[in-house]
Amino acid sequence: MAIANFKHKFEALVSKETASWHKDADFRQENRSWLKKSQAIAIKINKALTDKSMSQKELAEKMGVSPQQVNKIVKGRENLTLETIGKLEIALGISLIEVVKHTVYTSYHGRVAASNATGMTKEAYRDRQPFQKLRASYMEASENAKVIKLSA
């Protein structure tokens, strides 16, 4: 009798639907790169809300969106558009993302990051140009840029 009672209770607890945890895991795996960025932005937003003693509802009103939308954003699972990020930055008075301007400096350092094991960039290796020549051309371009800035 006790076993039958246990079986009846167990069957009442077990769901008839199949588990969908693997779908959630697949989603997180497939969207890992933007989810990490969204979570980092959500942390900044939550900190700003706390610092400004602002509620999610107040933020939603400032942005002109629904409180449900703000709730999704602060959970870090929302794929944000640049428009939404801009609205958040204006409403909170903070910077959430920064776009690095392309200059001679960033161009040079981008090449250095692509260097191979021999210490030469892919471009220099392809042209068989020594790394020191590439660096010298960068230094010359930097000096030219300084002259242009001073004369402008």
pTM greater than 0.85:
no
Per-residue pLDDT tens over the stretch 16-27:
777 788 888 998
Judge contact between 99 and 105, C-beta under 8 A: no
Gap between the Cα atoms of 152 and 134, Å rounded: 27
**DSSP of 21-38, one letter per residue?**
HHHHHHHHHHTHHHHHHH
Gap between the Cα atoms of 83 and 90, Å rounded: 11
Quickly count: other Cβ atoms within 10 Å of residue 141's Cβ: 15
Per-residue pLDDT tens over the stretch 73-112:
999 988 999 999 999 999 999 999 888 776 655 555 555 5
